[in-house]
Structure 1
Amino acid sequence: MTNYIKLTFVLVLLSFTSCSDVIDVEVPTATERLNIEASIDWQKGTTGNEQTIILSTSTPYFDTTIDNTVVGASVKVTNIDSGTEYIFTDQNNGTYTISNFTPVFNNTFTLEVLYNNEVYTATETMIAVPAINRAEQSLEGGFDDEVLDVTIYWDDPEAEENFYFSKFDYQELLFPNLDTGSDEFSNGNEMDEFFERDKEDDDGNSTEFLPGDTVEISLYGISERYYNYLSLLLDQYYGGGNPFSSIPAELRGNCINVTNSENYAFGYFRLSEYDTLTYTFE
């Protein structure tokens, strides 16, 4: 009986070690498209004169060696209300910068990008944001009453419909945590947004916030259209691996190729005021 068990174990072990054939799977490659990262962010208390727009091209999912920066493009933003044009300078590394931009609340701006003899345009309005009143930590504001969380508070303007997105960032996080919100059910009241880290990761390592940890928090005012776009994008991102989540779909921003509509771009053009603070847990 013992010999039989040993023989069975050896056969099972061989069956696992012998399956070493490499299977090459052909992954379809989508059409290369222009990526437009055009976020005009105006921090409270600053002039907002210095702005950067980033252009790149899409790459195959598994290819990490391609230089996808876009150089040689022309980038211009125009204030439609005043007629003022702002020409961004090509830095030859995929970034296009300007140091004399003038943001104006509720004015409409148009982005124009000329790349490979095709013109891409987008239109948005500069949105203001209330100041962050304060940030508070607790053990009760989040989902787990055993870990620290942090909450920011701000006063929502009563006379208008408002949309927001918040960003929480800290050193160990690969990508900032983003969330969207509106004043649909809290118009004119004090609003809040909280953030907490899980008590531990999948490997059992502690990841919760501890006294002395620091988090960077920002609150942005955004348009309703961008709110809808970003909400769908975040639903797909955070819903990955969830069997009950909606089926992922390609999301298109507000950048339109007026030369060739079939060769559309990825990305979004928005203009937001934001308030920010740094919070250290006690």
Structure 2
Amino acid sequence: MKRFSFFFALLMAGLLTSCTDVVDVDLPEPEPQLAVEGNITDQPGPYTIRLTRTGAYFTKDELPAVRGAQLTLADNEGTTETLRETAPGVYQTSQIRGKIGNHYTLTIQDGDQQYRALTEIKRTPGIDRLEQQIKTNEPGWDDGYYALYNGPELPGVGDYYRFKIWLNGELQNDPDDLVVRDDALVDGNYIGDIELNGKPLQVGDSVRVQLLSLPRDYYYFLNEMYTQINNVGLFSSPPANVRTNVLNLSATGPKAVGYFAGTAVRSARLTIQP
């Protein structure tokens, strides 16, 4: 029996080590799609919209900018503005102002194709304060300073948020740093002493946090994007298209990707003191 097991192990080892052939997959070239990235906030403008074209799945080339498009942005109060192209594929406002409770319509004329995106700016609570806390010899924690978030959550279920964090002026923008939350389990409660940094800070380090309100569909867009960005490994699921609010007004025209979103923004800063 031991002899049989020995030869079986040798056979399996040979099979596994021989599976090293490289298989070239000939993927068809996809039709380029319009990619939209932009937002409008309740903070002073200008607001920026970036237009590019999508490329092949494995391309390492910079995505081409969409130049010469015509963009207009309108709100529900009757204000309409044509955006100005300030750099290749970069379009900016100059007059319109975002306001909590308002709805916005972005129209894009790209050649003979017209696209439209609808969004709104939802309410957001203020941030009471950021505090520092020092941890020493605590199980599961490295010694050092930690920044803590404190602030209320508004009563009424249906609020969605994103947290953006800068450490020493650098936005924490790795795939795991995309933090979006809803208020289903914390509706109307006070949110206190939430750690903002995974690694300890030192005296003199700075922390800045932004709390952004999100339209409901944009919240799901960011969740889907997070899933796709982190969908790696041997047992990852097949890639899937992420939703978009940019729609081609022609039912037979090429689809678009990306998102145009409205957000309200609240900010707070902290510098670690001895």
Query: Which band: TM-score by shorter chain?
Result: 0.7 to 0.9
Q: 1:113 aligns to what SS in structure 2? A: strand
Aligned partner of 2:198 in structure 1 is 197
Quote the Cα distance in structure 1 between the aligned partners of 2:74 and 2:256.
20
Q: What is the CA distance between 1:51 and its match in structure 2?
A: 1.1
Aligned partner of 2:216 in structure 1 is 224
Among candidates 51, 55, 59, match of residue 51 of structure 2: 55
Q: What is the CA distance between 1:209 and its match in structure 2?
A: 3.6
2:206 is aligned with 1:214: yes
2:238 is aligned with 1:250: no
Verify the 8 A CA contact 1:128 1:274 in the aligned structure 2: no
Q: What is the CA distance between 1:64 and its match in structure 2?
A: 3.6
Identity %: 25
Quote the Cα distance in structure 2 between the aligned partners of 1:238 and 1:281.
32
Can you give the 5+ residue segments of structure 1 that lack an aligned partner in the other structure?
A: 1-20, 199-207
2:83 is aligned with 1:75: no
Verify the 8 A CA contact 1:218 1:275 in the aligned structure 2: yes
Quote the Cα distance in structure 2 between the aligned partners of 1:139 and 1:236.
36
Q: Which letter maps to 1:280?
A: T
Q: What is the CA distance between 1:239 and its match in structure 2?
A: 4.6
Verify the 8 A CA contact 1:222 1:272 in the aligned structure 2: yes
Tell me the alpha carbon deviations over residues 160-211 of structure 1, each in whole angstroms, 9 at most, x when there is no partner: 531111111335667262211111121111125533335xxxxxxxxx5433
* Equivalences, count: 246
- Pick closer, same or farther for the CA change 1:22–1:239 going to 2, 3 Å: closer
Structure 2 matches for 1:1-282, cutoff 5 A? 26-43=26-43, 48-66=44-62, 68-79=64-75, 81-138=76-133, 144-146=140-142, 148-159=145-156, 161-170=158-167, 175=173, 177-191=177-191, 193-197=194-198, 209-241=201-233, 243=235, 247-261=238-252, 263-282=254-273
Quote the Cα distance in structure 1 between the aligned partners of 2:105 and 2:170.
37
Verify the 8 A CA contact 2:38 2:49 in the aligned structure 1: yes
Q: Bigger CA drift: 21-30 or 254-263?
A: 21-30
Verify the 8 A CA contact 2:41 2:99 in the aligned structure 1: no
Quote the Cα distance in structure 2 between the aligned partners of 1:135 and 1:106.
27
Q: Bigger CA drift: 153-162 or 251-260?
A: 153-162
Aligned partner of 2:9 in structure 1 is none
Tell me the alpha carbon deviations over residues 122-175 of structure 1, each in whole angstroms, 9 at most, x when there is no partner: 1111112211111133467xx942265433222112145311111113356672
Can you give the 5+ residue segments of structure 2 that lack an aligned partner in the other structure?
A: 1-20
- Pick closer, same or farther for the CA change 1:118–1:214 going to 2, 3 Å: same
Tell me the alpha carbon deviations over residues 238-257 of structure 1, each in whole angstroms, 9 at most, x when there is no partner: 353384x6554111211101
What do you get for the CA RMSD once the two structures are aligned? 2.9
Q: TM-score, normalised by structure 1?
A: 0.75
Quote the Cα distance in structure 2 between the aligned partners of 1:33 and 1:272.
25
Q: Which letter maps to 1:114?
A: Q
